[in-house]
Chains A and B, each alone.
Chain A
Amino acid sequence: MRADARPIPLKIVVAGGFGVGKTTMVQALSEIPPLLTEGALTTASTGVDDVAAVPGKRTTTVALDFGRITIDRSLILYLFGTPGQNRFWFMWDELARGAVGAVVLVDLRRIDDCFPAVDYFESRRLPFVVAVNGFPGTDRYAVDAVRDALALKPDTPVVRMDARGGDSCLNTLIALVEHALERTAVAT
């Protein structure tokens, strides 16, 4: 990397219910070994200094998986899998801030699991795509049925993918960035 090429980080959030394939997708795309980091410390102290000085507060750590894709000589894309449990919403805010957008992974056998993520990104007005992960027995559902079941806005892309396949995951990211570009172009 040239010294004058100032590195630029971008990020995409990968969300969805427990066991839907978030970690698999991040690992399929990442150029670095799977890494886990621990998230913020306490819900109560987020945004406040000095957790150690508040002994009464319950401390919570949350594992966060992430991956990295070097896009060009200065652009680096990070992928973040969201923590599964709803009590970690405060972490979602940190991850969604300034993000390109989000991929909401769906397992059609447990479609309810992705509603919180859909609601969250809609309310934050963050661009997202719904990606139906190819679990056995889910092929017979048409994309429009998925759109209806999730009550998605007409412009929200729905794609099929296989979280184990790097090319399939890459196509999902491309669909997301295309969608984000359209949204940004309209807004500017």
Chain B
Amino acid sequence: MTHGEPWHVDEAPRNGRVVPVFAVTGGRTRSSGRDLPVESLVTTTGRATSDLQQEYRVIVEMAVRPVSLVEVGAALGVPFGVARVLVSDLADAGYLVVHEPPAASPDGGPTLENLTRLLEGLRAR
């Protein structure tokens, strides 16, 4: 972040959206240095969110359980490119941990181990 911490608000927390999320992200749809796949999961670090702007706080509260970028986007009603920026900001600031998809097999897909787990899990349903 080059602009300090723009999600901090000076006044008491407000309910509802104050500004469009595009304004929160400054029009960015890609966060510097991160090209997270849409299914990337985030979880909270437990850091207090009382000083966060509404949109950011909603995301951190969602992330008490693992949630994906697309779920964040759908919950906020924003494109996932915007969700990717917001999530990356929160990860950079220490509020969230990002869990990217695991290292791929040589052909680019999931590893044999994860495919086997997936198959077993689907068969058990």
**Which residues of A does B touch, CB under 8 Å?**
1, 6-11, 32, 35-41, 45, 47-53, 61, 64, 66, 68-69, 71-72, 75-78, 80, 94-95, 97-101, 125-127, 170, 173-174, 177-178, 180-181, 183-185, 187-188
Contact = CB atoms under 8 A, between A and B. Distances in A.
Task: Kindly state the interface size class of chain B when it binds its partner.
Answer: 35 or more
A177 B115 contact: yes
Contacts of A52: 22, 26-27
* 9 closest cross-chain pairs (CB), A and B: A52-B27, A71-B121, A7-B66, A38-B79, A35-B74, A9-B39, A37-B73, A37-B74, A11-B39
B41 interface: yes
29 contacts: A7-B66, A7-B99, A10-B114, A37-B70, A37-B73, A48-B30, A51-B27, A52-B22, A52-B26, A71-B117, A72-B117, A75-B114, A76-B41, A76-B68, A77-B118, A78-B68, A80-B38, A98-B37, A98-B110, A100-B118, A170-B125, A174-B119, A177-B119, A183-B107, A184-B105, A184-B110, A184-B111, A184-B112, A188-B106
A183 B105 CA distance: 11
Nearest to A3: B43
